[in-house]
Structure formats: structure tokens, C-alpha cells
A = this chain, B = another copy of it.
Amino acid sequence: MIIRHPENPLISPCDVKPSRPDFEVVCTFNAGVTRYKDEVILLLRVAEIPKNDNPAIERVPIFSSEQNELIVRDFDRTDKSIDYSDSRFVRTAEQQFLTSISHLRLARSKDGIHFSIDEKPAMFPANVYEEYGIEDARITKIDDTYYINYCGTADVGITTLLASTTDFETFERHGVIFAPDNKDVEIFPEKINGKYYALHRPTSAEYKHRSIWMAESPDLMCWGNHRNFLTTREGFWDDGRVGGSAVPFRIEEGWLEIYHGADKNNRYCLGALLLDADEPWKILGRSEKPIMKPEADYEVNGFFGNIVFNNGVLFEDGIIKIYYGAADTHIAYAEISLEEVLAGLK
């Protein structure tokens, strides 16, 4: 049984200081997770909007790569040529903008439950691939380096970029590792038969598919030999869309991957995959039912309700410790035993 922490949600927008005084934090979710020294580290996605008390305008935050700074662009809400029907977007005839901008923020905890949250962003949009924000970090520890992949949203498309750190104080950017549109990337924490592996989720614009693919790499930077890996299942909890969630971890039986799936009503749940130890593109088991589905009030209601979404877990003492985004608004925490997850695979 999945056990939610009684103090959930652990982190909410009101707990996070905005990156500048004229902004407000609207969502704190989808955190990369790792252990560093004696602390649990979360690299939160923090979404902000410009404060605005004028209902006639929509204020859109953009990192301008030309001006090399964050700007706020005002749009006339009475302009009938602009599409405001989805509150997350402003769509003109030429271009699509986001009404919020995300950055990555560090939170630290000794007990894994009570977090102190940095006052400043750890990573903030900084180039043409990050104009509309950086999102959904995953952290893979390899030797003494923590590799952080994250999603860049921009007019040029949705890419996955790589950064690294050894101290969670300075972060080095390494550029785009997956071309648009591609997100939900999880890099395996060690080489398998001499190669790095990653799950990724490209989108076929032409054929509409959003399958999980697997790629290999000699150096974490360049990726190829892409294999179509996992797709939706008609009539199951993941018949709408699928994507990788947590960085896979090694167990006796192979690799365990926590992934997310949505049904056709956009209810996002978590499930598991068991992958072959040596040939990780071979799927040995898949959760017949979700290991976690939105049930608690903070999962059902929020900025986007009916969502549990995960970017990383800790696996310790036979327990999968899940830090997850709830309703695209909060960070919450739950535990489930590996034994139970394995028993639910088919």
C-alpha cells in the first residue's frame, strides 16, 4: 500500500520566495531528487507569474536571449486576434507564449520531510532554449558528479538540456542533448556494457505519437541508436500518454523505472517497469494497475487537478521514497515497498 506522509503537502507555493519582488510563485512541483552528503536534495520546479492587477492586460514573462535578461511583455486581453482560451498560454497568429516562467530551486532536508528552501534560484533561464522557462529536473549521480537534465521551453521548441554539479552551489551547463520536441528524460546512473542509457519522450508532430524511447551514449552528451520502447495501453490507466519519471535504479532483478501514465481524461498516475539488467530496452514487467493514483485532496485539486507526477525517487532499505508533484501545485511525499511494486508487475 502506498503511504502518504501525514504532513503532506511538504512544499507549497507560499513556502517559496519569488525570484523578484514583482513576481509571485504559483506552482512548486516536479522536483529532481538525490542524496548529497547527509541531506536529501530537491531541485524544485518553481513557476512564477508577474504580479498584475490590471485585468485588461496579460503579462508574459520571457527570458530574452537577445537582451540577455528577463522581460515582461504585455498583451492586450481585449485583442480578439489573440487566443487566451487556455490560461497557461497566450497564442498570437505567429507565436505561442507561456503565462508563467519556471526555474529550478534547491531545497534541502536532513530528515527528508522538513525542507529549507533557498531564497534564490539554483538555475534560471539563460539562453535561447530556455526563453519560456526551465522545467522538470532529473538528477543522476555518476561517480562524484550529479548530472541534471531538464526541459527547456522556448519558441524554437521543447528540448532537454544537460547541466552538472559536484556541490549544488555552482552548476555547469552542457547544452541541448535532445532536439525538439523532447522531454521526460531519465539517464541511467551507470554504464551498461560500456554505454550510458537514457529514456526519453520525443513527440511525433506528424504521427501524433508520444512513446517512451531509449537511447544510448558514449559520453552523456551525444545520444543515438534510439529505440521505440514503451507506448500507451488501450483500456488501461496509461491509455492516454506515457513518459519516464524517476531515474532508474538497480535492483537484484534488473532495473526499476517509475514512469507516469495518463488516461484519456488526463488523470496522471505512477506505475513501474522492470527492465533487463544487461539489455535495459527489454521490458520484463509493467504495472497492471497504477502504484499511485490521485486521491488526496491536494492531488485532486490544484492548478491542474488529478495529477501525481514524479521526477525522481530514493530507493533505500527496500522502500521506494517518492517525492512527487501533486496537482501541478505542491511537492508531496509517499512510500511504497519494492516488494509490493514487483508483485503488481505483469
Residues of A within 8 A of B (CB): 96, 128-129, 154-159, 174-182, 200, 202-209, 211, 213, 215-219, 221-228, 231
Contact = CB atoms under 8 A, between A and B. Distances in A.
A207 B96 contact: yes
Given A179-B182, A179-B226, A224-B177, A207 B158 contact: yes
Contact of A202 (B154, B180, B225): B180
A218 B225 contact: no
A299 to B, nearest CB: 25
Contacts of A175: 224-227
Output the residue of A128, A154, A179, A227 with the most chain B CB within 10 A: A179
B180 A209 contact: yes
A188 B37 CA distance: 45
Nearest to A215: B179
A173 to B, nearest CB: 11
Contacts of A158: 204, 206-207
> Which 6 pairs from chain A and chain B are nearest by CB?
A157-B204, A222-B224, A205-B205, A222-B222, A176-B226, A180-B204
A181 B178 CA distance: 12
A219 B218 contact: yes
A86 to B, nearest CB: 12
9 contacts: A96-B206, A155-B209, A158-B204, A175-B225, A180-B209, A181-B205, A218-B218, A219-B222, A221-B224
Given A129-B228, A156-B211, 15 more contacts: A154-B207, A156-B207, A157-B204, A157-B209, A158-B206, A175-B227, A176-B227, A178-B179, A180-B204, A180-B207, A181-B203, A181-B207, A216-B222, A217-B224, A223-B223
A176 to B, nearest CB: 4
Contacts of A218: 218-219, 222
Contacts of A159: 226
A207 B157 contact: yes
A130 to B, nearest CB: 12
A227 B217 CA distance: 18
Contacts of A223: 222-224
Contacts of A231: 156
Contacts of A226: 159, 175-179
A35 to B, nearest CB: 28
A261 B77 CA distance: 35
Contacts of A208: 96
Nearest to A89: B206
